[in-house]
């Protein structure tokens, strides 16, 4: 909803998030809708959770050496097997016995130990004795390198799987900790994720004429948690998620993009539940992937199968409802989630544009039948008392609205106008696979 004229998120729609199946407010943190996979939750980080280039190259070199030995074959019957003395350039080996060979070298035991001798370092006469074929070397070395790289990649995947399993236990522990905290009064301190969002260049976006605030609110939270899960700040595509939510909502997908193919300029409003379901079924790609597949295409579009396939690796999302007997208790439980470092997606009734332009929601009267979705990224309290709380939210109306695109809602407004609140758990399925 924007400028008092868009039907953004209707009370009845958002109520689906805040109410359980019987129509009464849920008093537990119910799962709104889970994706097929919730197994892994973010990698343990050492330099963003990945081996350094030096570590990778070291693994490849070791793997090449190991594979070269693996490719070695016993010395042929035609080739000489023993030498009293073998001179290779300036090096002299004594009591030499050839134990194996490959197209590029021989491995020998000698009086001083074991050595691997390259055919290219031998005299032409010795090369002829071993039937050396120079043309075979390049193909052999290419084969060894390919298999070494495959072995290094396999080892990296195994390391990531082990790290993901360990991180999964940590993520489960966080969700359990949040759930357990709902039974207690929250500690009131100051939480502000805005500096982190600026550091990651996850800036406030402008939904323009599109009344898809629910999509923008969910994506804002996903982008921050995506970084925590993968170690990479990525800008995810709201345009794709609008299309995906159209599929869930049952309407024919008619998503109209602007001229550069990146921004939605026409669609319908959705409930938070529908958006979560869309992520779970269709995933979400990055803005870069959308531009790459659509090539700046504007107008009404359909998503190509290749883009959908790429998006499906980013669907490891589970959404949890913030519980409470009434809005005041839900607001207090939101503090627990924020204290654990998780953003909260919020739906609430909204005043007209003039009343909200300053960015502070306090005593304004909301427009009947209209609501808006935002992302809560922190809170403050000048006195430390619950009644003096101000929640910090990231809006989707561009940086000129409110305080550089952010706003505040006090406890009075939240207690009267809160419609639903949810937080997410994101697995490492959000990390693209090679």
Give the model's confidence band at 56: pLDDT under 50 very low, under 70 low, under 90 confident, else very high: very low
Q: Are residues 367 and 404 in the same domain?
A: yes
The reply to whether 150 falls in a domain is no
* Structure confidence at residue 422 (pLDDT): 96
Q: Are residues 362 and 400 in the same domain?
A: yes
Tell me the C-alpha distance between 75 and 105, whole Å: 11
Q: Which of 32, 31, 24, 30 is nearest to 325 (CA)?
A: 24
Q: Is the pLDDT of residue 417 over 80?
A: yes
Which tens digits make up the pLDDT trace of 60-90? Answer: 455 545 544 444 555 544 566 899 999 999 9
124 contacts: CB under 8 Å, gap ≥ 6: none
Tell me the C-alpha distance between 63 and 152, whole Å: 7
The reply to whether 6 falls in a domain is no
Mean pLDDT of 368-379: 94
Query: Is-contact 321 421, C-beta < 8 A?
Result: yes
Which tens digits make up the pLDDT trace of 308-348? Answer: 999 998 878 889 999 999 999 999 999 999 999 999 999 99
Helix (H, G, I), strand (E, B) or coil at 99: strand
Q: How far apart are the first and last CA of the chain?
A: 39
Among residues 113, 145, 177, the one where a domain terminates is 145
Q: Are residues 18 and 61 in the same domain?
A: no
Tell me the C-alpha distance between 394 and 212, whole Å: 14
Higher pLDDT, 425 or 16: 425
* Structure confidence at residue 169 (pLDDT): 62
Q: Are residues 247 and 380 in the same domain?
A: yes
* Structure confidence at residue 303 (pLDDT): 87
Q: Is the pLDDT of residue 162 over 70?
A: yes
Tell me the C-alpha distance between 272 and 205, whole Å: 18
What length does the chain have?
A: 434
- Which CATH number goes with the domain that contains 297? 3.90.70.10
The reply to whether 117 falls in a domain is yes
Q: Are residues 351 and 229 in the same domain?
A: yes
Which of 12-16, 74-78, 179-183 has the least mean pLDDT? 12-16
Q: Are residues 121 and 93 in the same domain?
A: yes
Q: Are residues 343 and 403 in the same domain?
A: yes
**Which percentage of the chain shows pLDDT scores above 70?**
71
Mean pLDDT of 366-383: 94
Q: Are residues 389 and 255 in the same domain?
A: yes
Backbone angles phi, psi at 166, to 5 degrees: -65, -40
The reply to whether 5 falls in a domain is no
Which tens digits make up the pLDDT trace of 288-309? Answer: 998 888 865 555 567 889 999 9
Tell me the C-alpha distance between 8 and 71, whole Å: 65
Helix (H, G, I), strand (E, B) or coil at 46: coil
Domain residue limits at 62: 53-145
* Structure confidence at residue 113 (pLDDT): 94
Q: Are residues 215 and 123 in the same domain?
A: no
Give the model's confidence band at 268: pLDDT under 50 very low, under 70 low, under 90 confident, else very high: low
Helix (H, G, I), strand (E, B) or coil at 105: strand
State pTM to two decimals. Answer: 0.62
Q: Are residues 277 and 300 in the same domain?
A: yes
Higher pLDDT, 277 or 2: 277
Q: Are residues 211 and 125 in the same domain?
A: no
Tell me the C-alpha distance between 377 and 393, whole Å: 6
* Structure confidence at residue 22 (pLDDT): 32
Average pLDDT of the chain is: 79
Which tens digits make up the pLDDT trace of 92-151? Answer: 999 999 999 999 999 999 999 999 999 999 999 999 999 999 999 989 989 988 998 998
Which tens digits make up the pLDDT trace of 207-261? Answer: 887 668 999 999 999 999 988 877 888 999 998 998 899 888 876 445 555 555 5
Query: Is-contact 238 215, C-beta < 8 A?
Result: yes
Higher pLDDT, 27 or 107: 107
Mean pLDDT of 32-46: 36
Into how many domains does the chain fold? Answer: 2
């Amino acid at each position: 909803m924007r400028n008092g004229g868009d039907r953004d998120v209707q009370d009845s729609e958002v109520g689906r998030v805040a109410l359980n199946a019987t129509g009464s407010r849920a008093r537990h943190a119910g799962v709104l809708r889970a994706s097929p996979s919730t197994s892994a939750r973010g990698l343990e980080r050492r330099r963003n959770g990945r081996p350094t280039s030096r570590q990778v190259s070291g693994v490849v070199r070791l793997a090449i050496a190991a594979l070269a030995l693996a490719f070695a074959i016993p010395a042929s019957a035609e080739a000489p097997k023993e030498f009293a003395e073998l001179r290779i350039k300036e090096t002299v080996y004594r009591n030499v016995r050839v134990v194996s060979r490959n197209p590029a070298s021989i491995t020998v035991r000698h009086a001083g130990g074991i050595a691997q001798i390259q055919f290219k370092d031998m005299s032409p006469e010795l090369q002829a004795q071993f039937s050396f074929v120079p043309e075979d070397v390049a193909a052999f070395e290419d084969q060894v390198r390919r298999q070494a790289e495959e072995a290094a990649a396999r080892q990296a995947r195994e390391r990531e799987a082990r790290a993901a399993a360990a991180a999964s236990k940590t993520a489960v522990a966080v969700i359990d900790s949040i759930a357990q905290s709902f039974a207690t009064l929250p500690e009131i301190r100051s939480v502000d994720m805005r500096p982190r969002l600026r550091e990651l260049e996850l800036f406030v976006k402008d939904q323009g004429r599109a009344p898809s605030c629910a999509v923008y609110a969910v994506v804002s939270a996903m982008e921050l948690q995506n970084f925590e899960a993968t170690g990479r700040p990525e800008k995810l595509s709201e345009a794709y998620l609008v299309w995906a939510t159209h599929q869930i909502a049952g309407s024919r997908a008619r998503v109209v993009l602007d001229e550069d193919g990146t921004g939605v300029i026409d669609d319908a409003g959705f409930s938070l539940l529908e958006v979560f379901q869309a992520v779970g079924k269709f995933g979400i790609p990055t803005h870069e992937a959308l531009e790459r597949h659509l090539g700046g295409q504007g107008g009404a579009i359909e998503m190509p199968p290749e883009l959908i396939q790429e998006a499906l690796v980013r669907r490891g999302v589970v959404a949890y409802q913030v519980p409470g007997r009434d809005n005041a208790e839900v607001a207090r439980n939101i503090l627990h989630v924020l204290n654990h470092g998780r953003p909260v997606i919020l739906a609430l009734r909204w005043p007209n544009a003039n009343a909200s332009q300053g960015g502070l929601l306090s005593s304004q009267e909301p427009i009947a039948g209209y609501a808006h979705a935002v992302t809560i990224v922190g809170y403050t309290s000048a006195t430390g008392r619950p009644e003096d709380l101000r929640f910090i939210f990231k809006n989707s109306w561009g940086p000129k609205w409110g305080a550089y695109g952010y706003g505040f809602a006090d406890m009075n407004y939240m207690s009267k106008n809160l419609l639903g609140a949810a937080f997410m758990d994101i697995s490492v399925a959000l990390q693209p696979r090679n």
